[in-house]
Chains A and B, each alone.
Chain A
Amino acid sequence: MSEFLKVLEDQVQIVALIFMATVYTIRLIWMFRFKAGKEITDSVGSRRVGVAYSMMNVVMPWAMESARKNLNFYAQFVIFHAGVAVAIAATFIIPYWPEFFEITPIMRIFQLIVGAAFAVGVIRLIRRITNPSMRIISTPDDYFSIILMTVWFASGVFAIPNEYKVSEWPLIIFFSMTTLFLVYVPFSKISHYLYYPFTRYFLGKTMGHRDVFPRKRGGEEPAGL
């Protein structure tokens, strides 16, 4: 393996990660400087239960009409985010635990998940471009973020086998993109995972306090009506 690739896989990634963590820390400090609105009424429900319910929303597609009625979109969401998790894991496995990808079935599963996430990325990009409701709310950052992720997934498919002896290019591209990704993410909408716990926490707290969360039964038309 060339010295360049070695540094790119290791030190460069660490520096980029530290950069990202630093920017995120500043971001969180900035956010916490805004005063939190306080609810001073007597509660009907439980804030704690509301927060837990709100946080678990992501794994309860039945709890939200927009997911319930759009299971195809929900499946895409799951695949896309599984792809993110697996691709991030690959950025650590390749430099620090290369033997893991020598187990061919595991390596193939990783490739499959990242490949599926790539396909979802393409579908989402097409949706963003062709659907007028999506187009009107989309910014250059939205387009760039989805393109960046999709290309990153594609590069991941080729990098995961870690065959640097055959060619280093797939790995160079994957790790270069990972670096770009780590540096760009804190300034883009991709940072939404940083905000997710907070948005859901506040919503869950309010709705739990008022007993709106957990949602009550019913709501859907029974089959056949």
Chain B
Amino acid sequence: MSDKSINISDVVNLPLDIKEQKKAIEQKAPSVVEGKVKVYNQDNDNVKQLLEMLKNKLNRQSVISLVGCVHCGMCADSCHYSLARPHDPTMTPAYKADQIRQIFKRHFDWTGRIFPWWVHAKTPKDDEDLNRLKNVVFGTCTACRRCTLNCPMGVDTAVLIRLTRGLLTELGIVPEGVFVVSKDQWETGNQMGVSQEEYIETIEWQEEEAQDELEDPNFKIPIDKEDCDFIYTVNPREIKYDPRSIGYACKVFYHAGESWTMPSWGWDMTNFGLFSGDDKLGGFVAKNLYEAAKRLRAKRIVISECGHGYRSTRWEGYNWAQYKQDIPSESVLTTLIRYIDQGRIKVDPSKNPLPITYHDSCNLARSGDLTEEPRWLLERICTDFREMYPNRADNFCCTGGGGALSMVEYKPLRMEVAKVKADQLTATGAKLVCTSCHNCVDGLNDLIKHYKLDIKVVQILDLVADAMVVPNKNEKK
């Protein structure tokens, strides 16, 4: 089923592409002019800069993970890259982390400073080496944290990968996709460069659709309404490619009698800072949401279905932005559970009869706290829910995580290692795979197409909307 294994040196030696960077400089892109997004400058001493930044960025947690690896190799079997490419030792998580560990040892750790050869400590020689480092940390790891949870020492390899990505981002030594998406998010406040006009138009369109579906011409998607129970924040993918999910949310919130609003600014709960390692971008985006909630005096922030969006908004964002959490932020899954639990909506599982399995998003299961919530819902909205194995925090990445979907140059490798997920899906015999993440939807769809699987991707909100028992107008009255 799988294609011929690709040659890893073709990936690691992919040249640095800066066409988009040049274009942004020519067009005087505000984020570039203001120095928010860094561009590559070959006249700089980039190696020296990287070392200086590394010194400033090291904290106790990262240092512990840098010194704590005993090279036991236990992590090799936990990574989908190494499992799908058993012949390729460079896929071993410890090897990937060693690319930054070696630099750390050479400059900060005593044995490495005195006897570098003894512990394989080294300094990148030039920008070519930095480019290879870029290809390792962006191209051969989705920062899924599966190796972290399988390391007996507790070494957080994914954190080291992110640390390295952050250093390279500061030098503009990044895949083109990372540059473009970062720029868009700095300039428009959202990852896909959706304009304010486009956002409002899409919401109005969904409002009209919902009016028809709900048979209520007075239904409104409230924008910037103050004092609501929550602000609903979405993934720009929903605005741009899949607005149906907003329609589903409308249906559920309407029948639950919810008081909610969507902010006109600060609505993108995704956060490319998580993937690029840029804490400043991460803080900026997260703060937009927190401030929107404050401005509108909402009682909580509800995050639509997105793994990294949830992780960034609920967890990392407050730390990046150094923003004291003042109101709760929750996944829409929690909101849905509340509705069903309190009887605010009624569901009939027989409306979703097809065999269905659940894919845990890495960011929900390994870096968040949501493994049982989706299962609680699936057991109530479907008749034939079957687990895939392994599951929960042991589940495998959809292979589109860590920003991989935006880095097209690594797609052939990504598809090769997706064999692990494809086999997992096939073994369930399910006709539907549900995930609570828009990013995973695209990652799964890519591999389903590539491996020609007979399975369709759905999300929880779609299923809840489908399973809802809608009271007829008279009953409601």
Contacts and interface: CB of A to CB of B under 8 A. Distances in A.
Nearest to B67: A195
Contact of B59 (A37, A64, A69, A73): A37
A198 B393 CA distance: 22
A131 B111 contact: no
Interface in B68-96: 68-71, 73-78, 82, 89-90, 92, 94-95
Contacts of B322: 40
Contacts of B371: 216
Given A40-B324, A65-B390, A34 B68 contact: no
B78 A66 contact: yes
A181 B94 CA distance: 26
A103 interface: no
Contacts of B69: 189
Given A66-B150, A212-B368, A31 B60 contact: yes
Contacts of B73: 127, 131, 133-134, 137
Contacts of A35: 59-60
10 contacts: A34-B60, A132-B89, A133-B82, A133-B89, A189-B69, A192-B153, A210-B315, A210-B367, A212-B369, A216-B393
Contact of B319 (A36, A39, A44): A39
Nearest 9 A-B pairs (CB), nearest first? A221-B389, A199-B154, A211-B369, A66-B150, A136-B89, A203-B154, A200-B154, A36-B60, A219-B394
Nearest to B371: A216
B471 interface: no
A219 B152 contact: no
Interface string A134-148: 111111111000000
A92 B374 CA distance: 55
Interface stretch (B114-122, B231-239, B244-252, B436-444): B114-122
Interface string A4-38: 00000000000000000000000000011011111
Given A34-B60, A136-B90, A192-B153, A141 B118 contact: yes
A38 B153 contact: no
A129 B63 CA distance: 28
B59 A36 contact: yes
B462 to A, nearest CB: 24
A224 interface: no
Interface of A: 31-32, 34-42, 44-45, 54, 57-58, 64-67, 69-70, 73, 77, 127, 131-142, 187-189, 192, 195-196, 198-200, 202-204, 210-212, 215-216, 218-221, 225
Contacts of A210: 315, 367-369
Nearest to B153: A199
A73 to B, nearest CB: 7
Contact of B71 (A57, A77, A137, A221): A137
Given A37-B60, A140-B120, 5 more contacts: A134-B73, A136-B92, A139-B119, A189-B69, A219-B393
A61 to B, nearest CB: 10
Contact of A199 (B59, B68, B111, B118): B68
A140 B117 contact: yes
A134 B393 CA distance: 25
A146 to B, nearest CB: 10
Which of B78, B98, B155, B393 has the most A CB atoms < 10 Å from its CB?
Answer: B393
B71 A139 contact: yes
B131 interface: no
A202 B60 contact: yes
A218 B153 contact: no
Given A54-B154, A139-B119, A199-B65, A215 B92 contact: no
B68 A138 contact: no
Interface residues of B, number: 64
B114 to A, nearest CB: 9
A37 B61 contact: yes
A69 B74 CA distance: 11
Given A41-B318, A57-B154, A133-B89, A221 B390 contact: yes
Contacts of A198: 60, 64, 68
B49 interface: no
A177 to B, nearest CB: 19
Interface in B353-386: 365-369, 371-372
B165 interface: no
Contacts of A135: 89
A183 B463 CA distance: 63
A83 B365 CA distance: 37
A215 B49 CA distance: 40
Contacts of B368: 210, 212
A34 B77 contact: no
B97 to A, nearest CB: 9
B110 interface: yes
A202 B392 CA distance: 22
B82 A202 contact: no
Contacts of A215: 392-393
A127 B71 CA distance: 12
